[in-house]
Amino acid sequence: MQKVLVVDDEEVLRMLIEDTLENLEHAVIHTAENGAEALAKLSDELYDLVILDYMMPEMTGIEVLESLGKEQTGAMPIMMLTAKAQENDRSRAREAGARYFMPKPFSPMELLQIVEGILSENSEAR
């Protein structure tokens, strides 16, 4: 079973992502509503994919990645979900460990296709 962690401070968006990803076979979806909760979950287990909001109160997605460090972010794919589409924002996220980006607003079907591709790519690499 593959595990996906969805981290977003907006409950409606978390639910939309969770509902969208329920169509994935062999995946368990976990959620966190803020960076601190995400760090706690990430300290307990390794995920096959983390979908991480860029802008959250108290702790941004970038701060979450920086807290994890390169070793842990290198061990799992991170998708940054963001309304911040500037290249400097993407560069900062890449430097912190994000490998994939999904702009907000997004199409649920496009999200599903990208996540399926990432999970498939990861399972083949194992």
In percent, the amount of the chain with pLDDT more than 90 equals 68
pTM for this structure? 0.93
CA torsion 106-108-112-114 (nearest 10°) is -20
Please tell me the predicted confidence (pLDDT) of residue 73: 79
**What would the pLDDT profile of 53-63 be if each residue is shown by its tens digit?**
999 988 999 99
Give the start-to-end residue ranges of the domains of the chain.
2-119
* Token pair for 97: 């460990």
Read off the pLDDT of residues 36-46 as tens digits, 9 standing for 90 and up.
Answer: 999 999 998 88
d(CA 58, CA 76): 24
Looking at domain 2-119, its CATH class is: alpha beta
